[in-house]
A and B are shown apart, each in its own frame.
Chain A
């Protein structure tokens, strides 16, 4: 089975400071890679390097899918505070070149139909997070990069997201996720990569 994403001897730096080195691993279809580690260890930078947003300091990242076949949801929600969730997602669809038909349905699925026409600045942190995650439903993509997807989500939100992840994984999708919370649902294909400062991985991915 060929990997949907693989990386070899990757090193991550922030400014002049080397955060991580000698990271290697691969993610196959139907697998979920959970990246864990202390604050500041370089989880987000690693995720950005794997997704192609940032260049790795050393090493090689090989993605078997085009960037437009990936979902990137960073810790920032990419919602303009003056626009409504609907307008934000509609704009996102147009820029990504995908049909806008599913936007309403996705917002409903994330229980946002009541605030769909309110400017995002009036939304709570959890509602904004839901609106950002609704992109996962607007268009199906085989590889997800999610940076702290659960931050600010309530219990129902976390549960819903875990169901979504499970369905994604069962359909052969892959995901790379940084999260401090344990991903507790009975997820098959879940692997954890524990990052330690400047020493490579403990659990090899």
Chain B
């Protein structure tokens, strides 16, 4: 547990030193969402309809931007080797890194979404569901992308490989996440898609640290 906390503290300290790492995804998210609105004709009714999926996909792409390098630095400077010769289970250390990544990237994006939601004309209740869906869905995205970045860590240049790997995997998250917001907008109950998001999250929390640790071991071998 001590090691888990140490990894978490180290990642947060690094994020505090490299502010661009978490500030840039926020800017990216705001710009992308705004561009959709600017590209549409003023007060276009479809914009309100497309709002949930724009906000969801924007958050997803913004999170993916910074997750490619999640394990890259540790792989290149040799920290990863030290993790593997430590007495701790590597999956626990990976879990610490992923939790930190959610706190640094996922949570700010989740908190930013309501502001953009207001811009898309969402009511208070819809925004509540939006926040809830992102709270459940964002960690699942971070975990999935974390696993993919562990898979590609040994490759010299990944470019769009990470999004190509991750985007198909996170289809259910987008479907249920945006679905919950759409349901709330049409006045229907949003419980069912939110439960699905919760189930996906539980699955990711249980499986991803183990799978990512195995992928990292493979990269060292």
Partner of A77, one of B77, B83, B85, B93: B77
- Residues on the A chain within 8 Å of B3, using CB: 94-95, 97
A142, CB-defined interface residue at 8 Å: no
What 1/0 flags go to B1-24 for Cβ under 8 Å of A? Answer: 011011100100110011000000
- Chain B interface: which size bin? 20 to 34
- Residues on the B chain within 8 Å of A51, using CB: 85
Nearest CB in chain B: distance from A76 CB, A: 3
Partner of A80, one of B6, B77, B85: B77
* Contact A54 to B220, CB < 8 A, known contacts A67-B87, A78-B82, A80-B73: yes
- Residues on the B chain within 8 Å of A54, using CB: 220-221
CB pair B220 A53 closer than 8 Å = yes
CB pair B78 A77 closer than 8 Å = yes
Give Cα A52–Cα B3 distance, bound, in whole angstroms.
Answer: 21
| Residues of B24-79 contacting chain A, CB below 8 A | 73-74, 76-79
- Residues on the A chain within 8 Å of B2, using CB: 94, 97
* Contact A95 to B76, CB < 8 A, known contacts A55-B221, A68-B86: no
Give Cα A76–Cα B87 distance, bound, in whole angstroms.
Answer: 20
B196, CB-defined interface residue at 8 Å: no
CB pair B13 A83 closer than 8 Å = yes
CB pair A91 B17 closer than 8 Å = no
Give Cα A96–Cα B86 distance, bound, in whole angstroms.
Answer: 5
CB pair B6 A78 closer than 8 Å = no
| Residues of A72-97 contacting chain B, CB below 8 A | 72, 74-83, 87, 91-92, 94-97
CB pair A91 B6 closer than 8 Å = yes
- Residues on the A chain within 8 Å of B18, using CB: 82
Residue of B nearest to A145 (CB): B85
B191, CB-defined interface residue at 8 Å: no
Nearest CB in chain A: distance from B100 CB, A: 13
Nearest CB in chain B: distance from A139 CB, A: 12
Residue of B nearest to A78 (CB): B78
What 1/0 flags go to B124-160 for Cβ under 8 Å of A? Answer: 0000000000000000000000000000000000000
A70, CB-defined interface residue at 8 Å: yes
Output the residue of B5, B77, B220 with the most chain A CB within 10 A: B77
CB pair A76 B85 closer than 8 Å = no
CB pair A81 B77 closer than 8 Å = yes
CB pair A95 B6 closer than 8 Å = yes
CB pair A83 B10 closer than 8 Å = yes
CB pair A97 B86 closer than 8 Å = yes
| Residues of A45-70 contacting chain B, CB below 8 A | 51-55, 66-68, 70
Give Cα A122–Cα B6 distance, bound, in whole angstroms.
Answer: 24
Give Cα A76–Cα B85 distance, bound, in whole angstroms.
Answer: 14
Give Cα A74–Cα B79 distance, bound, in whole angstroms.
Answer: 10
| Residues of B64-120 contacting chain A, CB below 8 A | 73-74, 76-79, 81-88, 93
- Residues on the A chain within 8 Å of B88, using CB: 95, 97
Residues of chain B touching chain A, judged by Cβ–Cβ distance below 8 Å, are: 2-3, 5-7, 10, 13-14, 17-18, 73-74, 76-79, 81-88, 93, 220-221
User: Can you give 25 contacting A-B residue pairs, CB < 8 Å?
Assistant: A54-B220, A54-B221, A55-B221, A68-B87, A72-B85, A74-B81, A75-B78, A76-B76, A76-B78, A76-B81, A77-B77, A77-B78, A78-B78, A78-B81, A80-B10, A80-B73, A82-B14, A82-B18, A83-B10, A83-B13, A87-B13, A91-B6, A91-B10, A95-B86, A97-B3
Residues of chain A touching chain B, judged by Cβ–Cβ distance below 8 Å, are: 51-55, 66-68, 70, 72, 74-83, 87, 91-92, 94-97, 119
Known: A51-B85, A68-B86, A80-B10. 17 other contacts (CB 8 A): A53-B85, A54-B220, A67-B87, A72-B85, A74-B81, A76-B77, A77-B77, A79-B77, A79-B79, A80-B14, A81-B77, A83-B10, A87-B10, A95-B82, A95-B86, A97-B86, A97-B87
